[in-house]
Amino acid sequence: MAAMARGQSVNRNAESNRQFFATAIRSIFDCRCLASFNQKRGVPMPSEKPDLPKIAYSIREACHVSSLGRTTIYNHIAAGRLRAKRIGGRVVIPAESLHALIGGQE
């Protein structure tokens, strides 16, 4: 056995570990992709759970769906034009309140 420089065996082990985990991760990814693919039609399958209508939005979701900024949302809450409810440590906005604000029914 030839003399190895210090740390050379560690580098070889690290490289083999990298190859092993890369292969494992690739196979897991491939399985997940194939599981959501309909082989007969060649198109992705729809998600298993149906999209339920939202009854409340987080501040971030309210900003996204209304195209309003975070500060604007908080200003409407402070002015009483938008209802908000604190549940635990989270602030949620009822969907009907957000729809009424956007629809112009204050």
pTM over 0.75: no
Other beta carbons within 10 Å of 82: 23
Give the alpha-carbon dihedral of 23, 27, 30, 32, to 10 degrees. Answer: -130
Say which DSSP state 61 is in: H
Q: What is the pLDDT of residues 14-29, one digit of tens each?
A: 777 777 777 766 666 6
For residue 81, the model assigns a pLDDT of: 93
Find the mean pLDDT for residues 66-85: 95
Strand order from edge to edge, sheet including 90-94: 56-58, 90-94, 85-87
Rounded CA-CA distance 39/41 in Å is 6
Amino acid at 25: I
Handedness of CA 70, 73, 79, 83 (dihedral sign): negative
